[in-house]
A = this chain, B = another copy of it.
Amino acid sequence: MRLVLVGVEGPINLGSVARLAKNFSADELFLVKPVARLDDELAIRFAAHARDFLARAVIVERLEDALRGVDFSACTSAKVGQRSDVLRHPLTPWDFAALATRFRKVAVVFGRESVGLTRDEIALCDVLVSIPANVEYPVLNLSHAVAIILYELYKATRLQESQFRVEPANEELLRKLAQRLECIAEKVVTDQRIQQVKAALRHLLFKSGLTAGEASGIAYFVKRLVKRLGVDECLA
């Protein structure tokens, strides 16, 4: 994935974008005629632990140069066109990310803080992407727009379920917990609402997507509860 900034003006944005590129595993950073300097003290400060990435940025003269060797390119804009302005008919970030998974080398292009991308620049991209936001103030700061697009691309292309999910609760344990809780319910609810209560407890356990650690916390709680209530038969 290649990130392209056209005419970036602010050193804080430049540094922030380098950090985001590293946060979300972008491969390359291309700068078309940057106004901000790579060695600006603020850029380096805001790049934080990505100053190596910032230092490796490639500076080119024209957007055409930054799109060379790319299979699929998206320009970005906060400005969405009306019916007849096809050039400004945008994709959402998530639709774009889904499409991007099908290409080997993808570029995303962001424009100047002040005036964005020109129509001629947008015409060089395969698609246009826009971030839906408050119609009364839809214009995001550059680095925040970059954050959202890179996050969607990361979600679609790099996220391994295993990276982020802690171990889920074992199904047998959930089943045992449900039985124990229902047993406890039968001891403490003696009217006709018992069926409702038991169903609610089962739903609670099975819809909550508990992790193994969370389930083991609940299991311990249930055991203590049984002891306290003196209903040891519920541990069977």
A213→B83 contact, CB < 8 A: yes
Q: Which of A17-25, A33-41, A184-192, A226-234 contacts its partner?
A: A17-25
Q: Which of A44-52, A55-63, A65-73, A195-203 contacts its partner?
A: A44-52
Q: Chain B residues near A212 (CB, 8 Å)? A: 83
CB distance from A76 to the nearest CB of B (A): 14
Mark each residue of chain A from 87 to 105: 1 if its CB lies under 8 Å from any CB of chain B, else 0: 0011010110000000000
Q: Chain B residues near A159 (CB, 8 Å)? A: 132
Q: When the two chains form the complex, which single residue of B24, B83, B137, B163 contacts A23, counting CB atoms closer than 8 Å?
A: B137
Q: Chain B residues near A94 (CB, 8 Å)? A: 155
A166→B83 contact, CB < 8 A: yes
A122 CB–B CB distance under 8 Å: no
B84→A20 contact, CB < 8 A: no
A143 CB–B CB distance under 8 Å: yes
A148 CB–B CB distance under 8 Å: yes
Mark each residue of chain A from 125 to 137: 1 if its CB lies under 8 Å from any CB of chain B, else 0: 0000011111111
A164→B46 contact, CB < 8 A: no
A95 to B211, CA, bound (A): 14
A23-B133, A134-B22, A163-B132 known; A141-B213 Cβ under 8 A: no
B140→A147 contact, CB < 8 A: yes
A30 CB–B CB distance under 8 Å: no
A83-B213, A134-B25 known; A141-B16 Cβ under 8 A: yes
Residues of A within 8 A of B (CB): 12, 16, 19-20, 22-25, 46, 48-50, 80-86, 89-90, 92, 94-95, 130-141, 143-144, 147-148, 151, 154-155, 159, 163-164, 166-167, 209, 211-214, 216-217
